[in-house]
Amino acid sequence: MEFHSLAVALAMANTHFYLGKKLDEAWRGEFKKELYKSLDFWSYTLRAHFQTAILHLCRVYDERRKDDTHHLLHLVEKIDDSNLTDLQRQQKTMDFSFLQKSKPNEKVAKLRKWRNNYFAHNNYILAIDGMEDFLKKNPVDLQEIQSLIDNGFSILERWAIYYDFKGEFPRFVERKDDYQFVLESLRFGLIQKTRQ
C-alpha cells in the first residue's frame, strides 16, 4: 500500500497537469471563443488543475524526516543497503542525492520553496507584498513540473522490486480525455444559442 499510494499521488498530479495543459491549449486555440463565454469559471478551473498537480507533487517530494511522513525521500532512505547490489547502491545514492533535504536537485528545491512559501504555508511577505519577486526567482516551468512527475515514476519503478510491489503504475486516470466532450458540448451549445 505504501508504494501504491505514492503511485496514485503521482498519477493524480500527472492527470491534473495534463488536464491543465489541455485546457490551456483549448483556451489559446480552437475553443477560445467558447471558453471566453465563461471566463472566470475556466480561469479558475485551469488554475485549479495546475495548483492541484503541484500540491500532489509537494506531498510526493516532501522532506520532513518524521516517521509519520510518506514521500519519495523517506521511501528511498528506508532501503537497506545490505540487500543491494553495487549497481543498486549507486542508484540509491543518485536517487537520494536527487531527493535529499540539504542540497536536492534544483527542480526539487524549487518545488519545496513553492511548498513552504505558498502551498503548505502562507509566507507573510508574499501574502502582503505579492508574489512578483518570488516568481522571478522561482518561475513556474511546465517542463520542470512534467520532469518531476516523470522522475517520481522512474524512482518508483526502480524500487518496485525491492518493495515487492507487483502492481502497475498507471500514469493517468482511465478517462483522461473526457474534457473533450465538455468542450465540444460548449461549442454545440453556443451554436444552438446563436441559431435561436
> What is the DSSP secondary-structure string of 52-104?
HHHHHHHHHT----STT--SHHHHHHTS-GGGS-HHHHHHHHHHHHHH-SSS-
Contacts of 89 (CB under 8 A, 6+ apart): 81
The pLDDT, as a whole number, for residue 57 is 97
80 CB burial (10 A radius; 0-12, 13-18, 19+) = exposed
The pLDDT, as a whole number, for residue 2 is 74
Residue ranges in the chain modelled with pLDDT below 70: 1
The pLDDT, as a whole number, for residue 49 is 97
- The predicted model scores a pTM of 0.90
The pLDDT, as a whole number, for residue 153 is 96
The pLDDT, as a whole number, for residue 1 is 65
The pLDDT, as a whole number, for residue 103 is 87
The pLDDT, as a whole number, for residue 121 is 87
